Amino acid sequence: MPSNKLARTNDDIQLVMSKLLREIKDPRVNQGMISVTRVETTGDMCYCKVWLSVMGLQNEKEFKKGLKSASGWIRRELGNSLKLRNTPEPVFELDHSIEYGAHINEIINELNISHDEDEE
């Protein structure tokens, strides 16, 4: 369970990270709508794991390469925005939960379930 200060830092990083990802000019990163779903920072503030959900992702490998090449710029901008003693190094992970939920929703909508008025 993260401490209260660490939880606030995670929230701040998530907010700033969502703004920074929109500013990246690399076409490998701009493949779709990017959402930062969760951030977890280590206790020593060396690393922060950032989970991203991307709707409309064409090439996952290229997306990760683009993020890795922009991670230095992201870390610098994160440090300038948050004024932390140690700026954590971002580690990016893809979160497929939103896409999975949309897929399940499509399956449910395709089912032809008739509702009997007697049951209500």
120 pLDDT higher than 80 = no
11 confidence band (pLDDT: 50, 70, 90): very high
Cα–Cα distance for residue pair 6/42, rounded to 1 Å: 9
pTM of the model: 0.76
* Span 78-92, average pLDDT: 89
pLDDT at residue 114, as a whole number: 67
Mean pLDDT over all residues of the chain? 85
Whether the predicted pLDDT of 50 surpasses 90: yes
pLDDT of residue 115: 63
Sheet holding 33-41, edge to edge: 33-41, 47-55, 89-94
Residue 39: predicted pLDDT:
93
